Each structure stands twice: as structure tokens, then as C-alpha cells.
Chains A and B, each alone.
Chain A
Amino acid sequence: MSAAVTYAGPRSRTLGYGPRTSAAATDIRPAASTRLRLGRPFRGARMLGIGALAAIWVTGSATGLIDPRILPAPWTVVTTGIDLVSTGRLQENLAISLQRSALGLVFGVSIGVVLALLAGLSRLGDALIDGPIQVKRSIPNLALLPLLILWFGIGEDMKVITIAIGVFLPIYIHTHNGLRSIDARFVELSETVALSRAQFVRRVVLPGALPGFLLGLRFAVTGSMLALVVVEQVNATAGIGYMMELARTYGQTEIIFVGLVVYGVLGYTADAVVRLLQRRALSWRKTLED
């Protein structure tokens, strides 16, 4: 009680409680609250920088200050995109790119999950698998490209395999980590309710490792995009990356820009899909975060 009383004393003096003039009270508010702070967030803050850049781009192109060979006008990029769609060239190349990354993802995720399960659920599996993968981890994926080209040629096999290698590693690491970090208390519980090993894996281990797997999947999707971009610029005859490479040789900057936009949309969509999946599959966790 005594602390509250002594606190109330100076507080009533500075804030002007009691018989004080209102002018003293209004003085205090603005000075005290914003002097060292960033101030209020305002609406559309995120769009401001993007809008400013776009404005510079538009005015630069319209006034001819920007050389269209360096940076084509925004409307040129848009009309080029429409042209590419109407001739069917964009869809054709996009389909090839999507097929590559989808195949790479499917193989990479499957391999990553199987290896993580083998290593996570048995001591022998861990001893055999985890070491080599930790070694592989320190070699950048794209450094393997010359070797993969020698082994698998420059065709689709090499491209899908490169993407799969970029995918399986994050899946393995995060799933394995998820499997290994299952709470020992749940293991104890499973013993007291006499779960069989199969039930234990199905009811406790796999759902417990799911958050790790989904985190790995987000990294994997990003990794597959990165690998896709690189393999499509190596001796490809189709795909968004090939379309951009070809445009480079003809100096068609606007087509390169269309390709960049497509890659951006692809990456964003893929990440959004995984995040949606995460929200659905981990709905039990959402209730805790709300």
C-alpha cells in the first residue's frame, strides 16, 4: 500500500490532477509521447516506396530519360506479356518450367521424407544416413552442376535431378529435426498407455514432426525455384529461363522483364500455397497463437 501512495504523489503533480489549469495538462501529452519514437504507422506505408519507384520508372520512360534498351517502359513490358500470352509462347514455356519444378519437388520431397524417417526412427539409419548428408550440406547445390551435367547430360533428367537435390536437403534436415525433438514426456505417456511401435509412430512421432516437415517444405519450395532458374539457363530448349536467355541474345529486355515477373509470381504463389497448407495442417497450433 505504501508504495502506491508514494507513487500517487509525484504522478499527481506532473500530470496536473486536481485543481490545475487545463493548459498544463495539454502541454504534457505531445511532448512526452513522440519525441524519441518513430511516430504512428500510416496507411499504405508498404506501398509508398514501391509507388515512388514505379512513378520514377513511368516518368523516366515517358520523357525518354531511360534508354528502353536498358529498361523498357512499363507499358512495353505489359504489351509484350500480352503478346507472349496471345501467341501461346509464355504458357508453353511456363508449362515446361512448372513440370520441371513439380517433378523435382515430388522426387526431392519423397527422398527427403524417406531418408528423414529412416534416420529419425532407427539408430542404424541415423548412423548410415545422417553423416553423408551433413557432408553434402556443406557443398553448395549448384556447385554439383558440372558433375550432374557429366553424369546425366544436359536433358530433362539433369534438370529434374538438380532441382530434387535442392529440395531434399531442407526437407530432410527439418523433418529429421522434428522427429528427433519430440518431447520425451510424450514417449513416456505412450509407454504408459501401451502404444505399439506402429501406433506410436502414427499418433505421436509423425504429427509431432509435421511442423518441422512443413517448415522444410517452405525452404524446399524456395530451393526448387533457385535450382529451376539455374538449370533453365543451361542448354535448355524450353522454359521461362530459356525464353529469357533467348531474349538476352536478341537484346529483348522487355521479355526478360516478363520472365522476371513470372518467376516472382511463381515464387510468391508457391510460398502462399505452403503457408496455407501450414495453417490447415497445424490448426491445433493456431488456437494458441490467436
Chain B
Amino acid sequence: MAQDTRGLRGSGAQPQAEQTTRGPGHDQPSVVVRDLVRAYGDEPVLDHLDLDIAAGEFVAILGRSGSGKSTLLRALAGLDRDVPGSGTVTVPASVSVVFQDSRLLPWAKVLDNVVLGLAAATGLSRADAHRAGAAALAEVGLAGRERAWPGELSGGEQQRVSLARSLVRSPELLLADEPFGALDALTRTRMHGLLRDLLERHRPAVLMVTHDVDEAIVLADRVVVLDAGRIAAQERPADHRDQHALRTHLLAALGVEKSSSPTPEPQEVPA
């Protein structure tokens, strides 16, 4: 697996050194974050954060607004070049991002959105890229909508197109920034099922930022709670028989009192 090292600034360790210290094991992590610091002004958003994600592992990041969860995702996506900081981030060569908004180009047909930049990035012919795009659309249940404009689709359908756009690139790492945050509860539940099916087949490592504790428990292999740029808690839902206790525990780590109901926090605005 080709590795790509990003975000080198300040006194980060050399990624090559890291690779050699780990050695070639079959459980070599797909994502390695070491001593990651990101700061806007004086406020550190990520505070010497370490995180590994194994190949094929699904990690959900929970956190309050300003906990640094979106900043972490943007660092992994390589979208934070103008944010000062230090540390190393090692990610696979092929990374796909699913944004909270579907982020489809409104002037391009659905299929053209799915294959945006695909042919040039993968060396496929245009026809092959279009075939792969149509197959990806069929996978998310949108066969036959290739020639539709994004504006003609519902919010859930648009987000499915955006999933197809990500998966058609066969990513080794899928980054998702509150991908279902803008959807209604019913559509959200359906999307959870779809996402699980898709991941079953494509098996990328996943880092999903969410503010929904239940979504994290249902989908993720590991739930990581960020607070003030550090990892405040980590749990594997599979290790817990009592999901209700796990939920209460995670909510407590998020600073929500046991008695109060889990109200969705306001949307975090990435700077």
C-alpha cells in the first residue's frame, strides 16, 4: 500500500522512521497520526493527538463543537494546508471524502458527478470510468438516474450519489464528515444500512465524524470521543453487551449528564 505523508511542519517525526519501527506486519495500520497539533490562533484545536486506524476498521469520532473532530478529518483529507501545526499524518494513497452536504456540482449530470476526475486519476478510459460510475450508482440504488440533474434528487438521493462518487474510487480510506447530519431520521436509518452493505463489499478504513452517539455505536468498530483536541475515551461497541450502558458512558465522556436527554448539538462550522 502506497503511503502519503502530510502535514509536516515543525518537529514531526520522519514518517519513514515510523514505517521501519513498525515493520511489515499484516495488521499494519492504514492511518497513523502522531503528535498532531493544529491551532487556530492561540487555541490548540488538536493537542498532540495520536491515532491509528487499522485497514478496514471503522472509527467514529464523537465530540462537542470545537473538540477538533472536523479539524482531524480535514488533516487526514489534506485540506488543512493553511492551518498552522505540527506532527505527522500517514494515510493511504487513495482517500475519499464524503461531506455533510452532498457537494454535487449542480451543473453536471449525476453520472458526471460520480466520475468527476476519475478517468485522469485512475488511468481508466472515459468509457470505463462511465461504466464504473454507473455500476457505483446501481450499488447505491440509483440505477437509471445517471442523466438526472442533482437538483432533481432528494437530499437522501444526493447523499447516495456522493457515496457512489467516493466508492467508485475504491478508496483505502473513507473520510466522512457528518455524512448523514442533514438528513431526516428515516432516511438516516436507511443510509446506515446502505453504508454497512457498501463497506462490507469495499472494506476501506473509515473515519466518520458524527455528533450522534447512536449512529456511532451502530456503525463503528471503535468509537473515539475527542475533547479539547485529545482523546477522552475509546470504546469498541462489540466489547459491550449492554449498549445502553455504553451509550450512557459515551454521553458522559461528551459531558452530557445522565439525566438529560441527548439533544443534538449545533453544527460545527469548519474554519
Chain A interface residues toward B at CB < 8 A: 185-186, 188-196, 199, 203-204, 207-208, 210, 282-285, 287-288
Q: Is the interface of A mostly helix, strand, loop or mixed?
A: helix
12 A-B contact pairs sorted by A residue (CB < 8 Å): A189-B97, A189-B105, A191-B79, A193-B116, A195-B117, A203-B105, A204-B105, A207-B107, A282-B107, A284-B107, A284-B151, A287-B151
A195 to B96, CA, bound (A): 13
**A210 and B107 contact, CB distance less than 8 A:** yes
Partner of A203, one of B77, B95, B101, B116: B116
Distance in Å from the Cβ of B144 to the closest Cβ of chain A? 17
Inter-subunit contact B108/A203 (CB<8 Å): yes
Q: Which residues on the A side are within 8 Å of B118 (C-beta)?
A: 193
Residues of A within 8 A of B106 (CB): 284-285, 288
**Smallest Cβ distance from A287 to chain B, in angstroms?**
5
Distance A285 CA – B105 CA, assembled complex (angstroms): 12
Tell me if B84 is interfacial: C-beta within 8 Å of chain A. Answer: no
Q: Is the CB of A192 within 8 A of B97?
A: yes
CA distance A282 to B103 in the complex (A): 18
Number of B residues near A (Cβ < 8 Å) is 24
Q: Is the CB of A284 within 8 A of B121?
A: no
CB distance from A201 to the nearest CB of B (A): 13
- 15 new A-B pairs (CB below 8 Å) besides A193-B117, A204-B105, A288-B106? A186-B103, A186-B105, A188-B79, A189-B116, A191-B79, A193-B116, A193-B165, A193-B169, A196-B120, A203-B116, A203-B117, A207-B108, A282-B107, A283-B149, A287-B152
CB distance from B232 to the nearest CB of A (A): 28
In the assembled complex, the CB of B92 is this many whole angstroms from the nearest CB of chain A, namely 13
The minimal Cβ–Cβ distance linking A214 to chain B, given in whole angstroms, is 12
Chain B residues contacting A186 (CB-CB under 8 Å) are 103, 105
Please name all residues of chain A whose beta carbon is closer than 8 Å to the beta carbon of B103 when the two chains form the complex.
185-186, 188-189
Best-buried of B103, B106, B107, B149 by chain A (most CB within 10 Å): B107
CB proximity of A41 to chain B, nearest CB, Å: 31
Does B193 count as interface, using CB distance less than 8 angstroms? no
List, in ascending order, chain A residues with CB within 8 A of B116's CB: 189, 193, 195, 203
In the complex, which residue of chain A has the Cβ closest to the Cβ of B150?
A284
* Residues in B whose Cβ lies below 8 Å from that of A190: 117
